[in-house]
Amino acid sequence: MIRYLQRTVKDESVKELESFRTGCWIFAENPSDSELALLTDAHGLERGLLDDAIDPNEVPRVESEGGVTYIFTRAPIKEGDDVSTTPLLI
């Protein structure tokens, strides 16, 4: 699922947009192959690095490709009483 989010100037809340707009945040959760292709084609992102971002064993690092910097990190998630981490690409 791909969502486009933007902070509003008026009250600094975050609102969801219907489509991409310059300056928005692209939020992709469990993207499908077609969604990854859209991110690659429409936004010029590197497909191999996007594939790395959904790899559950990916380690934190920084990559630069074609003038774009990719920051790979891990974010905590809570499932019941357990806490684990999941990859996060910025």
Q: What percent of the chain has pLDDT over 70?
A: 100
Which of the four pLDDT bands, split at 50, 70 and 90, describes residue 89?
very high
Alpha-carbon gap, residue 82 to 90, rounded angstroms: 25
pLDDT of 51 above 90: yes
pLDDT of 61 above 90: yes
8-48 pLDDT tens trace: 888 889 999 999 999 899 999 889 999 999 999 998 888 99
What pLDDT score does 12 carry? 83
**Roughly how many angstroms between the first and final C-alpha of the chain, as a whole number?**
17
What pLDDT score does 66 carry? 85
Helix (H, G, I), strand (E, B) or coil at 61: strand
